[in-house]
Structure 1
């Protein structure tokens, strides 16, 4: 390495992030604060951070695509574009053909970005100002997206919209710098389906941006590679994280069972649901609770579904109920009640929710129970500390009286608002599932697109109810239940995602819960 070169003299240190750091997700504003702490407290000049970022991204590219024979870099302005120019200069130094789309004219670049532009220019990178002048790609070309950074918000403007379309349509692998251009760093929101770069990998710096793991983030980031750029561990407690991300390794698990265990030690779960034509949802929730380890399972459903339940799963104690009055005495014995799978929105449905909502047992509330709750006729103004609400985006929007797009634009804020309105624990389901409770907000990323099929939410309801019945605190049960459900989906999809059925997850849930 040329120690006299103003850019390459400062390389990024390849470091493995700590487990604690890996679980903290930050807003764009918080990451800017972290940047400033590194600059001030560690006395690292801003240009040095840019050099480290460019080096880290270039090393990531070479590691992931070792056969690369050409690189195309698409640069905007600011630090994100500056990182791209560093990458281009490093590629040119190594005699890798590199072309750069200059999205922001040189006379509008400032500070470190302008210095990085000069480095790429001196090293011989080909700089073009028209997308049509970018060379064709071949099978070993890699594209680098350095168009828009964490400061982006609002609608895309020229030439960034055209550049994003060009990158997505090039047919070559894409590495995004810090985050895919067009993605909100805070929420994972995108203005339009085509208005975001679809990356194969994203290398992100200093702090993990929350938007990489929320909303559209998991669908467009590819593999996320984190580089701390030499930031000291003691700067992170100085800046609050937006939320915490859990992985399987960070979750509380159920304790091992003693040799003399008996069924009453592992909870009695009751599933309430299964209106006319919807009996399967309630049965799947009951079976999921059983496969998650519950000692006793009851099902309160329409009389027409009892025989089918006994035939499919005789271990479940199926009770025919035709009214809330008939349900009432059945609510005395369960430790936890899950209400909503296949519940419908009929008068029968409302009666059952009204009774279940006031039972002494802990609750898991899903599906049409949430829609009835949103309607305001049943349990109006009701709050409980010992219930878990599990809405998807549409149900969350109805609970808050807002549009689906408003929930998508900021799922963390939406989950917080639902939790403040209803108390308890809220699980806002998605590719990045947000869990909000009195002590904070968390996210878990697991599962796969094959799980976009009927009945998956019913399984999750049964799993979470089972974990609560086995003694887990509600937030811990929510975390573990979401992870078990998603991981079981991943294992069940080993033979393919299309055609994946909810019941395909059941054997995998059983294998994972221990």
Structure 2
């Protein structure tokens, strides 16, 4: 499934309509039919949701809502419509849909003529509220005149359905206005937009349901942004039945410092769980005595200098560099030595922060580097504020890909995987994954797959899917409050199963 920005979607719409006003109205009707079908098939029932309120804005999102209100009324639901605009400023198509409505004039209210007690009454008596105020073209802040409506919708006990995107979310970044609708379901019209997935969208979407194709001409649409799933990540390779441990790769994890020895151990164990044959933690001699593995299958070896390190990674198939490493400058030279070997290298955590210092010395002839920052680390990499990355994550992923000739995995509620060919969006929000060591697990899985011979992009895509699926399994077993990194590790095998 392809994903579009708000501007790309607007261009697709314009390319489809090409000045044909009837076509524009046809698309609106198709959008409303798609939403209506999902409502009637999966969500709404006349016994449970007899009384419906459709809240419409002035634009085409509001027009979709008005067309939907007509269809619901024809189906026997008690429908009221609240229009958050004056009739004179409705878009052409929204104005036509308003005239087509066959419900009592008493059931069509305009916000500017509706006192707060009446507003509270119609919202409180509704079993289901449809939010069609703003679409994916929204940016900035919602005007204070609409605050009361959104506050009352969010306080209501009714089920809330947002059309295309919850009103108040930026259609590109998912950034939330000071007031934004919190939906139980978001029914996306035709195709996902970046704002459905990024930023704060996960806090407002509820369950996302993507509607049917409404007849848009996408023949010239970009194909560089894709929803990442197990199907897109692809199947695991068949394992050699007669193979021995060296056939399945030797992962080396370079990391750890006093007080932070658990991070590389977590990565090393995750690498083993992903299928690699051997996994070794290389740790500085000063921290070696503090490093005690709970997993006997993970080897631990100390090194004192760069020459020691070189000897210890001679047989490595892939390296994870950075978990728990600390900020000692001596590791800059070690990272350079690793990268010169042209092994697949996953650079995570403290390792990412070193790349700025050695960037001018990097000569990567082929793409063998995988970066796995969260937004804070990405911000430090480019010396910007974290909010800058949150407000434009796709830009910074593309920039990191270009700067470092790398595959880049930007971790978050929607994890982005990028390389020179495009971007993949993995949307499985799970607050239980926001726990110490979760990123170390991901780095270890990706490193373990690279050690087995998967190319760096394949390792990143599969690793993100396996990590997310394992996290969801852990959530089912324990809940989001009780999860920790070892629970994700213990479910890696379940994350792999659908890919076998």
Q: CA 1:341–1:103 in 2, change beyond 3 Å: closer, same or farther? A: same
Q: Give the CA deviation at 1:251.
A: 1.6
Structure 1 counterpart of 2:90: 109
2:26 match: 48
218 and 98 in structure 1: CA distance in 2 versus 1, 3 angstrom threshold: same
* Structure-2 residue corresponding to 1:205: 189
Whole-Å Cα distance in 2 between the matches of residues 246 and 73 of structure 1?
33
The within-5 A match list for 1:101-500 is 101-120=82-101, 124=105, 125-129=107-111, 130=114, 132=116, 133-134=118-119, 135-137=121-123, 141-191=127-177, 194-231=178-215, 235-241=217-223, 243-303=225-285, 306=288, 311-374=293-356, 376=357, 378-380=358-360, 382=362, 384=364, 385-446=367-428, 448-494=430-476, 495-500=478-483
The answer to whether the 8 A contact 1:269-1:294 is kept is: yes
Name the counterpart of 1:503. Answer: 486
Q: Which whole-Å CA distance do the structure 1 matches of 2:452 and 2:35 have between them?
A: 46
Match of 2:14 in 1: 36
Question: Among residues 58, 64, 81, which one is paired with 2:43 in the alignment?
Answer: 64
Conserved 8 A contact 1:145-1:181: yes
Q: Mind listing any 5+ residue stretches in structure 2 that lack a counterpart?
A: none
Alpha-carbon separation, structure 2, partners of 1:401 and 1:344: 19
The one of 79, 89, 92 aligned to 1:98: 79
The whole-number CA distance in structure 2 between the counterparts of 1:512 and 1:94 is 43
Shift of 1:85: 1.5
Contact 2:160 2:185 in 1 (8 A): yes
Whole-angstrom distance in 2 between the partners of 1:44 and 1:119: 15
TM-superposed deviation, 1:64: 0.4
Q: Does the 8 A contact of 1:447 with 1:489 survive in 2? A: no
Contact 1:339–1:353, Cα closer than 8 Å, also in 2: yes
Larger deviation, residues 463-472 vs 317-326: 317-326
Give the stretch that moved more between structures: 87-96 or 407-416. 87-96
With over 3 angstroms needed to count, the CA separation of the structure-2 counterparts of 1:360 and 1:94, relative to structure 1, is closer
After TM superposition, the structure 1 stretch with the greater mean CA deviation from structure 2, 292-301 or 133-142, is: 133-142
Change (3 A) 1:128 1:43: closer
Q: Deviations over 1:203-229 (max 9, x none)?
A: 122322122122222332222222245
Assess, with a 3 A threshold, how the Cα gap between structure 1 residues 180 and 116 changes in structure 2: closer, same or farther: same
Q: 1:184 to 1:503 in 2, by over 3 A?
A: same
After superposition, the Cα gap between the structure-2 partners of 1:110 and 1:43, relative to the gap in structure 1 and judged at 3 Å, is closer
CA contact 1:173–1:200 (8 Å) conserved in 2: yes
Three-state SS of the structure 1 residue aligned to 2:320 is strand
User: How far apart are the structure 2 equivalents of 1:54 and 1:446?
Assistant: 27
1:137 Cα offset (Å): 4.6
Q: Is the 8 A contact 2:61 2:134 kept in 1?
A: yes
SS of the residue corresponding to residue 312 of structure 1 reads: coil
User: What SS does the aligned partner of 1:284 have?
Assistant: helix
Deviations, residues 332-372 of structure 1 (Å, cap 9, x unaligned):
22011100111111245445434334333221000011123
**Quick check: 2:62–2:133 contact (8 Å CA) kept in 1?**
yes
- Distance (whole Å) between structure 2 residues aligned to residue 42 and residue 207 of structure 1: 22
Gap runs ≥5 in structure 1 = 1-22
Deviations 1:290-345 (A, max 9, x none): 11111111210134665676652222221112333431221222011100111111
Contact 1:275 1:349 in 2 (8 A): no
For 1:267 and 1:42, the matched residues in 2 are separated by 59
* CA distance in structure 2 between the partners assigned to 1:346 and 1:468 by the alignment: 27
| Residues 186 and 205 in structure 2, CA contact (< 8 A), matched pair in contact too | yes
TM-score, normalized by length of structure 1?
0.88
Q: Supply the distance in 1 between the matched residues of 2:279 and 2:3 (Cα, whole angstroms).
A: 38
Q: 1:294 to 1:219 in 2, by over 3 A?
A: same
Which stretch shows the higher mean deviation, 426-435 or 249-258?
249-258
Matched-pair contact (CA < 8 Å) for 1:447–1:490: no
TM-score (norm 2): 0.91
In 1, Cα distance between equivalents of 2:134 and 2:204: 14
2:346/2:369 contact within 8 Å kept: yes
Displacement of 1:153: 1.4
Q: Label 1:271 to 1:69 Cα distance change in 2 as closer, same or farther (>3 A).
A: same
Q: CA RMSD in A?
A: 2.4
- Deviation string 1:151-188 (CA, Å, 9 cap, x unpaired) is 21122223234332332222322111111112122222
What per-residue deviation string (whole Å, max 9, x for no partner) do you get for residues 446-504 of structure 1?
Answer: 35111111000001010000111111111111000001001000001113110201001
The answer as to 2:8 corresponding to 1:27 is: no
Distance 2:104 2:126 in 1: 22
